[in-house]
Each structure stands twice: as structure tokens, then as C-alpha cells.
């Protein structure tokens, strides 16, 4: 068997060399170094190339080096062949929108240089010893000088002084070893930080895809960057969905794990929504594109993550403040101990104690790991601030519709209230669906699905106005139509539904959600919908209490009787019924005034104010755009239990970060005291300090395994 495998690999390599001449620079089993002369040019950013390769199943890692014009690819030969790797690389589509950020391997070269210099030193003349040592440590000295001139006194300055003092005293071996340890520490820190970036790499830079789209009656293959809203796209088994859209033909099982974290393939059929980045496992779909390019779910996820990474949490800012303070503390301590003892070695040992790296890198790496872990479970977190606040939450407020209840609503009744020419229930449903199809909300989707199921035609209309926190309106051929809550239509538009109070009360008593429709003539109609309680709701609420949530609150637009019945059944501590959008925000403020740390879970247009005011706003995946834009957490998977996972991940992430900060400060302080007392030599100080830093960083990365919600 081994001989067969080797022969197959050799044949694959020969074919690959023929198809891709002069590209393979070096090859080992499971490892390729491929020449890319255009690397670093516009559209060929290192990170973009790495992400494209990393997206191929079986590829374990990819590292692009712009200076050398090559990329190193490590893969599992049993899962993907050399030819497949090179073919995939050849299919890369240049993306000028992704900024270039070069990753260099200078640290590795410096390590090799230090090792060779130490090995050669015993065999050369004293003059050459000085020359080799000076050349070797010059990067550390130059970096210290540059840092002093550009940024002031930082840890790089202290390192340079410590190494420079050894050189000045003729201690070449200690200077070289210290320089080598500093280089090793810097290299490992860079690699660790790079590993944390790779955890989010697929989310930050979703790979471009190709699509079969119908153009002029024929199917043609185009890049996803050329797709337009309204295009009809064919996606077959094993292919990735390139757009957000609605299924208009076919049936298929679709794997959404890459986007939502949902590990079970879901059935998609006509009128169902599909999201970009998911993969068709079985069957074939015909999809009408509703969002393309930067408007797709995958692109929005990338934008969300990029924005989140720029937000520094309180812990992050505090860690940087402590790190900067400790540099001056180390400098003053070293100066004092030298003034008292005149001992250069003590001064060197003190200067080699460094708080900054462990503190400044440990916190952001921990945050990135937490964000990546949450994303794999279908939860987007808006940076470290969201993680900290979610871990501190003690009160959770749920908006009932679409959160406690299923987002899959069903239209049960369509009633025309005022007889008008050419307006019957089907016409009313078509009018409302034509406007609601521009909204992303469970009620809107239910209305649109009902209209399509009846084969109703789209009604042309003017621009849709989003009436923030209330509803929608648009100019139709018959005049302006207004859709929303009864409160808004009556209080703000002056449309009186009182004459139909009995019928409305009957619908509410039957447990219906009612959508009110009016125009310039007054009330036009009612659309009633039915929702069902999520099966996971009781268990989710019970688990939240186990995780430290002391107060559970339900907000509902339902009538008092129905809301109380449901809230008491689920064991809520407080139930608020017939609540308007403004009242939701006010209730959040009232809870915060009592000292509560409040998380609000919602999904509608009228949830925007409450989501922004809450300490933590949590938006359901199918909610309105304004809800997702104002939320601190966005659930990608339509599972209420994802809130439990988010809470567990946030708590575990914060605990690990706090442990790392305490460990970095405690251990480095002990090292500093040892250096001040003369019990730790400069060499030991460098070894122990770098070991502490590496341990802290690796512990931050280790959180990606320990933070699984089921652990």
C-alpha cells in the first residue's frame, strides 16, 4: 500500500508540474512551496491568498511570503492531492478590496542566524567574534534606538540597553544568548498572534466563488462579483451558494454550518430563504438573488467581525495601561538598583523583565479566540466589550415574537375591513406582500410566503419607507398604503380601528398576531398570523438561571391575558403586555436604574431602540436589518439555545483573560524582585520572562478548545 500511494503522489506531481510549470519550488509529503510572482500586487494580498487556500478541505495551513514571492501549503495527502491544491490555487480570483498586510518570516531567519553565530564563535579569531556578535545583535540595538526616537521609552529600549551593556562589557556569549532568547520570544509571539488571526480568517475574508447564472435564456458561469439582484442562479450538489436569496425551484439538503454553526443539513424548497456560504449537500436549487456582493450574509459577517476587532474592551485598555506603566516602573527600579549597588548585571536582569508582551498580546488574542469560538457556534460577538458585558449580565429581557416563539409564522386570516373596488383578500395580501418583501422579519417573510403560495403577482409600487419602530409604507397605484401595529396606525396616522374592536379581540383571543393595514380612506384590512412556542424555550430559560441569570423578563405586544398566560407558564419573573416600541426602551432603562445588567433579545424593526439601549443587545438571525445593526450579538442560527452557548463562551473567555493578566503580572513581578535582589542573572531573567510570555499566549489560544459549551 505505501508504494501505491507514493506512485500515485508522484504521478499527481508530474501532472501538476505539466499544468503549472515553474510553480512548484519545493515539495515534501503533505507540504508544497509554490512560486507566486504576483504575490503582493493589487488583488493578490497575502491574507487573501492564504484564505483561498485554507478554504480547500484538507489544507491545514498556508503561509504567503511576499518578499520571496511564494506560498507554503501544508495539507493532508489522504484528503486532497497535490494536483487539487494547485488547481484550486489557479482558480483564485483577484480581490482588490482586501488590503495587503505582509507576513514575514524574519524572526525565523534571525533565530537561525543567532544559532549559527553561537556555533561559529569558538572557531574564529577575537576580531571576527566581535564582528559576528555585533552583526547579530544589531537588529535588537537598532530597534531599540528607533523605538526611543519614534515612540519613547518602551520595552524594546530596555531590551536594547540590556544587550548593549553586555556587548560593552565584552560579554559576547551572554549578549548573543540574550538576543537569541528575545528573538525566539518575538518569533513565537508573532506565530501565536498569527494563529489567533487564522481562527477568524475564514470569517474575515470569505473566499470568492463561481456561479451558474441564467443570462439570455442560457446558463453561464460567472464570478460572484458579477452577480446582480434578481439573477436566477443554479446551484448543484457540492456547490457553494454565492448569494442570499429565495428558492424558486428544486429541493435540496443544504449545509449551513460554515455560516450559522448549525451542523445538521436543512431542507430547502420553493419560497425558503438560503444564505451565501452554505453548501448544497444533496439535490439541486434554483435561487433568485435578493442580496449580492457586500450585501450578502457572509460579507456582512466579515464586516461585523472587522468592526468588532477595532473595539477595545475595558480589560484590553486596562492591560495596555498596566503594560505601559510597568515599563517606567522597570526603568526606575533598574536605575535605583544600579545607583545603590553599581552592579551592571542586576541592571541587565531588571531590564530584561518585560510585562508588556504578555499583557498587550494576551488580551486581544484571548478576545479573538472567544470571538472565533462563538462564531463556530453561530454567534457573532461585537468585540471584547460585548464579551465582557455578556459575562456580567444578570437580567435577560425577551421580546416574545420571533424569540420565545418560532420565527416560522403562518398567515391564517386575511380580512378586508372596508369594501373597496377591486380589493378582496387576495388583492390585499398581494399589496401587503409586495411591500413586506423589502423587510427581513418573520412576519414579513410569512406574508410573502403566503402570497407566493397562492401564486399572487407582485404589485408595482414606489419607494418603501421604513417607519422606524412601527412599520412600513409605500405609494401604490391606488394610493399610499400603511402597514404596521395598531398603535402606530391609530396614534400617528389617525386611522381608527375602533369599529372593528370586536373582531380584533376575537383574533387576539385565538392567539393570533395581527398586522394592521390602512390607507388614506381609513382601515383597509387585517392579516392574522399564528406563531408557536419554540420547543427549546423552557430548557433555555432554565439553563440561563443555572448560568447566573437572576431575573427573566418577557415583553409582548399581545393582549394582557394571553401574555400573562404564556409568561407564567414559562416562569418569567416579570411580564409586560401590549408594549409599544418606546415602552420597550423605557422598560430597559428602568431595569438598568435598579443596577441590573440587562441583555435584550429581539428581532424586529421596533426592537432597535431597546437593542441599542440594553447593556447587551442580542438579535435573532432573521430579524430586521436595524436590529442586527444595533445589536452587540447576532445569532446566525435560528436557535434560542445559542444564547446559552454565547453566555458560556463569554464567561469562559473573560475568566481565561483575567487569569492570564494576573499570571503575567504576578510572575513578572516575582522575576523583577529576583533581578533586583541579584538572585536572577540576566540570562535567567530572559529565559524566565520569555517562557512566561509564551505560556500566557499559548494559554490564551488553548481557550479555543476548553470553551466548548458542553465542556
CATH assignment at residue 273: 2.70.150.10
The pLDDT tens digits for 230-281 are 888 898 887 888 888 888 888 888 877 555 545 567 788 887 888 777 788 8
Q: Is residue 95 part of a domain?
A: no
- pLDDT of 706: 42
pLDDT band at 574 (very low <50, low <70, confident <90, very high): very high
- pLDDT of 316: 64
Give the CATH number, domain containing residue 25.
3.30.70.100
Does residue 197 register a pLDDT over 50? yes
The pLDDT tens digits for 594-636 are 999 999 998 765 676 788 788 888 888 765 555 566 678 888 7
- pLDDT of 20: 46
CA distances from 145 to 140, 148, 150, 161, 179 (A): 9, 5, 9, 9, 15
pLDDT band at 523 (very low <50, low <70, confident <90, very high): very high
C-alpha cell at 318: 486596562
Q: Is residue 100 part of a domain?
A: no
Average pLDDT over residues 393-408: 84
375-387 exposure pattern, b = at least 16 Cβ within 10 A, e = fewer: bbbbbbbbbbbbb
Chain centroid, CA 82 distance in Å: 31
Say how far apart CA 53 and CA 78 lie, in whole Å. Answer: 17
57-66 exposure pattern, b = at least 16 Cβ within 10 A, e = fewer: eebeebbbbb
Q: Are 244 and 206 in contact (CB under 8 A)?
A: no
Asked whether residue 230 falls in the same domain as residue 186, the answer is no
Say how far apart CA 568 and CA 553 lie, in whole Å. Answer: 11
Of residues 327 and 677, more confidently modeled: 677
Does residue 18 register a pLDDT over 60? no
The pLDDT tens digits for 291-305 are 787 666 666 666 655
Q: Are 129 and 109 in contact (CB under 8 A)?
A: no
C-alpha cell at 550: 437572576
- pLDDT of 538: 92
Q: Is residue 641 part of a domain?
A: no
- pLDDT of 517: 93
Taken as a whole, the chain contains a residue count of 711
Q: Is the dihedral of CA 429, 431, 437, 442 positive or negative?
A: negative
Say how far apart CA 369 and CA 573 lie, in whole Å. Answer: 34
Q: What phi and psi, each to the nearest 5 degrees, are found at residue 533? A: -65, 135
Asked whether residue 251 falls in the same domain as residue 149, the answer is no
Q: Please give, one letter per residue, the 3-state secondary structure of 159-173.
A: HHHHHHHHHHCCCHH
**Which among 474, 422, 426 has a CA at the least distance from the CA of 450?**
426
Q: Which residue has the cell 421604513?
A: 466
Asked whether residue 252 falls in the same domain as residue 279, the answer is yes
Does residue 572 register a pLDDT over 90? yes
Q: Is the dihedral of CA 708, 196, 379, 396 positive or negative?
A: positive
Structure-derived torsion over alpha carbons of residues 686, 692, 693, 697, reported in degrees to the nearest 10: 160
Q: Give the helix/strand (H/E) hosting 506.
A: helix 501-509
Average pLDDT over residues 197-212: 61
Of residues 202 and 118, more confidently modeled: 118
Asked whether residue 296 falls in the same domain as residue 279, the answer is yes
Of residues 496 and 344, more confidently modeled: 496
Does residue 468 register a pLDDT over 80? no
Q: Which of 270, 286, 303 is the last residue of a domain?
A: 303
- pLDDT of 145: 82
Asked whether residue 147 falls in the same domain as residue 119, the answer is yes
pLDDT band at 5 (very low <50, low <70, confident <90, very high): very low
Q: Is residue 640 part of a domain?
A: no
β-partners of residue 32 are 27, 73
Asked whether residue 656 falls in the same domain as residue 550, the answer is no
Q: Which of 635, 660, 676 is the last residue of a domain?
A: 635
**Which among 575, 569, 637, 536 has a CA at the least distance from the CA of 398?**
575
- pLDDT of 81: 85
Bin 466: left if φ > 0, else alpha if -120 < ψ < 50, else beta.
beta
- pLDDT of 664: 78
- pLDDT of 707: 46
- pLDDT of 619: 83
- pLDDT of 15: 44
Give the CATH number, domain containing residue 578.
3.40.50.1000
Of residues 290 and 703, more confidently modeled: 290
Q: How many CB atoms lie within 10 A of CB 491?
A: 12
Q: How many CB atoms lie within 10 A of CB 138?
A: 13
pLDDT band at 215 (very low <50, low <70, confident <90, very high): confident
Say how far apart CA 48 and CA 621 lie, in whole Å. Answer: 27
Strand order in the sheet with 24-28: 24-28, 31-35, 70-75, 59-65
Q: Is residue 372 part of a domain?
A: no
C-alpha cell at 24: 512548484
Asked whether residue 316 falls in the same domain as residue 189, the answer is yes
Does residue 644 register a pLDDT over 90? yes
Q: Residue 239: CB partners within 8 Å, gap ≥ 6? A: 279, 280
The 3-state DSSP class for residue 269 equals coil
Q: Residue 14: CB partners within 8 Å, gap ≥ 6? A: none
The pLDDT tens digits for 118-132 are 777 778 787 887 888
Average pLDDT over residues 153-172: 71
Q: Is residue 646 part of a domain?
A: no
Average pLDDT over residues 360-377: 77
Say how far apart CA 243 and CA 278 lie, in whole Å. Answer: 9
For the chain, the C-alpha Rg in angstroms (whole number) is: 31
Burial (0-12, 13-18, 19+ Cβ within 10 Å), 179: buried
- pLDDT of 231: 87
Asked whether residue 267 falls in the same domain as residue 278, the answer is yes
Asked whether residue 149 falls in the same domain as residue 223, the answer is no
Average pLDDT over residues 419-433: 86
The pLDDT tens digits for 29-52 are 888 889 888 887 777 777 778 777
Q: Is residue 592 part of a domain?
A: yes
Say how far apart CA 428 and CA 555 lie, in whole Å. Answer: 30
Does residue 412 register a pLDDT over 70? yes
pLDDT band at 55 (very low <50, low <70, confident <90, very high): low
Work out the percent of the chain whose per-residue pLDDT is above 70.
75
Q: Cα angle vertex 30, ends 26, 33, to 5°?
A: 25
Of residues 664 and 314, more confidently modeled: 664
Of residues 56 and 397, more confidently modeled: 397
Question: Is 0.85 surpassed by the pTM of this model?
Answer: no
State how many domains the chain has.
5
Q: Which residue has the cell 453561464?
A: 220
Does residue 116 register a pLDDT over 90? no
Does residue 503 register a pLDDT over 60? yes
Determine the structural domain holding residue 30 and report its residue range: 2-90
**Which among 186, 620, 228, 213 has a CA at the least distance from the CA of 404?**
620
C-alpha cell at 688: 524566565
Asked whether residue 182 falls in the same domain as residue 231, the answer is no
pLDDT band at 1 (very low <50, low <70, confident <90, very high): very low
Asked whether residue 512 falls in the same domain as residue 419, the answer is yes
- pLDDT of 393: 93
Chain centroid, CA 201 distance in Å: 9
The overall average pLDDT reported for the chain is 77
Asked whether residue 660 falls in the same domain as residue 631, the answer is no
Q: Which residue has the cell 484538507?
A: 58
- pLDDT of 314: 64
- pLDDT of 13: 43
Q: Which of 635, 666, 687 is the last residue of a domain?
A: 635
Say how far apart CA 384 and CA 501 lie, in whole Å. Answer: 49
The 3-state DSSP class for residue 91 equals coil
The 3-state DSSP class for residue 424 equals coil
Q: Is residue 608 part of a domain?
A: yes
C-alpha cell at 246: 429565495
Q: Are 362 and 319 in contact (CB under 8 A)?
A: yes
Does residue 99 register a pLDDT over 70? no
Q: Which of 115-119, 324-328, 373-377, 516-520 has the lowest mean pLDDT?
A: 324-328
Average pLDDT over residues 512-530: 89
Q: Which of 95-104, 244-253, 316-325, 452-461 has the lowest mean pLDDT?
A: 95-104
Amino acid at each position: 500500500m505505501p508504494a501505491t500511494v507514493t506512485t500515485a503522489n508522484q504521478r499527481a506531481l508530474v501532472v501538476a508540474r505539466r499544468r503549472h510549470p515553474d510553480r512548484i519550488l519545493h515539495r515534501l509529503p503533505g507540504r508544497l512551496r509554490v512560486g507566486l510572482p504576483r504575490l503582493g500586487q493589487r488583488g493578490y494580498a497575502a491574507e487573501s491568498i492564504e484564505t483561498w487556500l485554507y478554504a480547500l478541505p484538507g489544507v491545514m495551513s498556508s503561509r504567503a511570503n511576499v518578499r520571496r514571492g511564494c506560498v507554503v501549503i501544508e495539507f493532508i495527502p489522504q484528503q486532497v492531492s497535490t494536483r487539487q491544491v494547485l488547481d484550486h490555487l489557479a482558480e483564485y480570483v483577484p480581490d482588490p478590496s482586501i488590503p495587503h498586510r505582509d507576513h514575514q518570516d524574519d524572526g525565523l531567519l534571525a533565530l537561525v542566524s543567532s544559532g549559527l553565530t553561537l556555533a561559529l564563535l569558538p572557531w574564529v579569531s577575537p576580531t571576527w567574534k566581535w564582528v559576528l556578535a555585533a552583526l547579530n545583535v544589531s537588529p535588537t540595538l537598532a530597534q531599540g534606538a528607533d523605538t526611543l526616537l519614534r515612540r519613547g521609552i518602551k520595552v524594546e529600549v530596555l531590551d536594547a540597553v540590556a544587550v548593549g551593556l553586555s556587548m560593552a562589557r565584552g560579554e559576547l556569549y551572554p549578549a548573543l544568548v540574550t538576543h537569541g532568547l528575545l528573538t525566539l520570544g518575538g518569533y513565537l509571539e508573532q506565530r501565536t498572534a498569527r494563529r489567533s488571526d487564522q481562527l477568524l480568517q475564514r470569517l474575515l475574508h470569505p473566499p470568492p466563488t463561481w456561479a451558474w447564472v441564467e443570462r439570455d435564456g442560457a446558463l453561464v458561469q460567472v464570478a460572484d462579483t458579477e452577480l446582480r439582484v434578481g439573477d436566477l442562479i443554479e446551484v448543484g450538489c457540492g456547490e457553494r451558494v454565492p448569494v442570499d436569496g429565495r428558492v424558486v425551484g428544486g429541493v435540496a439538503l443544504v449545509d449551513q454550518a460554515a455560516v450559522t454553526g448549525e451542523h445538521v443539513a436543512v431542507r430547502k424548497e420553493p419560497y425558503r430563504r438560503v444564505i451565501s456560504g452554505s453548501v448544497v449537500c444533496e439535490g439541486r436549487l434554483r435561487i433568485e438573488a435578493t442580496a449580492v456582493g457586500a450585501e450578502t450574509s457572509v460579507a456582512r459577517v466579515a464586516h461585523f467581525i472587522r468592526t468588532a476587532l477595532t473595539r477595545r474592551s475595558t480589560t484590553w485598555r486596562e492591560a495596555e495601561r498596566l503594560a505601559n506603566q510597568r515599563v517606567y516602573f522597570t526603568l526606575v527600579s533598574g536605575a535605583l538598583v544600579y545607583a545603590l549597588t553599581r552592579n551592571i548585571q542586576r541592571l541587565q536582569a531588571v531590564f530584561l523583565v518585560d510585562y508588556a508582551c504578555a499583557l498587550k498580546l494576551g488580551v486581544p488574542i484571548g478576545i479573538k479566540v472567544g470571538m472565533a469560538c462563538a462564531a463556530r457556534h453561530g454567534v457573532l460577538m461585537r468585540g471584547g466589550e460585548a464579551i465582557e458585558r455578556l459575562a456580567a449580565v444578570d437580567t435577560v429581557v425577551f421580546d416574545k415574537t420571533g424569540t420565545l416563539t418560532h420565527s416560522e409564522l403562518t398567515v391564517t386570516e386575511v380580512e378586508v375591513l372596508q369594501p373597496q373596488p377591486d380589493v378582496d383578500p387576495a388583492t390585499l395580501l398581494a399589496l401587503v406582500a409586495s411591500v413586506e418583501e423589502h423587510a427581513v422579519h418573520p412576519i414579513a417573510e410569512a406574508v410573502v410566503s403566503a402570497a407566493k403560495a397562492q401564486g399572487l403577482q407582485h404589485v408595482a409600487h414606489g419607494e418603501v419607507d421604513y417607519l422606524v419602530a412601527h412599520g412600513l409604507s409605500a405609494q401604490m397605484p391606488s394610493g399610499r398604503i400603511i402597514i404596521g401595529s395598531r398603535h402606530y396606525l391609530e396614534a400617528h396616522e389617525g386611522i381608527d380601528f375602533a369599529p372593528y374592536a370586536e373582531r380584533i379581540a376575537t383574533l387576539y383571543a385565538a392567539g393570533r398576531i395581527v398586522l394592521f393595514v390602512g390607507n388614506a380612506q381609513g382601515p383597509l384590512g387585517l392579516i392574522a398570523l399564528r406563531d408557536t412556542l419554540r420547543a427549546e424555550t423552557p430548557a433555555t430559560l432554565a439553563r440561563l438561571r443555572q448560568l447566573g441569570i437572576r431575573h427573566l423578563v418577557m415583553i409582548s405586544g399581545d393582549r394582557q391575558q394571553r401574555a400573562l398566560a404564556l409568561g407564567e407558564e414559562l416562569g418569567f419573573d416579570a411580564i409586560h403586555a401590549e408594549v409599544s416600541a418606546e415602552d420597550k426602551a423605557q422598560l430597559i432603562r428602568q431595569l438598568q436604574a435598579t443596577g441590573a445588567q440587562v441583555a435584550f433579545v429581539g428581532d424586529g424593526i421596533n426592537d432597535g431602540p431597546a437593542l441599542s439601549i440594553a447593556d447587551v443587545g442580542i438579535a435573532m438571525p432573521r430579524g430586521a436589518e436595524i436590529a442586527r445593526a444595533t445589536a452587540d450579538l447576532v445569532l446566525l442560527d435560528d436557535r434560542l439555545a445559542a444564547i446559552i452557548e454565547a453566555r458560556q463562551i463569554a464567561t469562559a473567555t473573560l475568566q481565561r483573560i483575567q487569569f492570564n493578566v494576573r499570571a503575567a503580572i504576578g510572575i513578572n513581578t516575582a522575576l523583577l524582585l529576583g533581578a533586583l535582589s541579584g538572585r536572577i542573572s540576566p540570562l535567567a531573567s530572559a529565559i524566565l520572562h520569555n517562557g512566561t510570555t509564551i505560556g500566557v499566549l499559548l494559554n490564551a489560544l488553548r481557550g479555543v478548545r476548553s470553551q466548548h459549551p458542553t465542556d
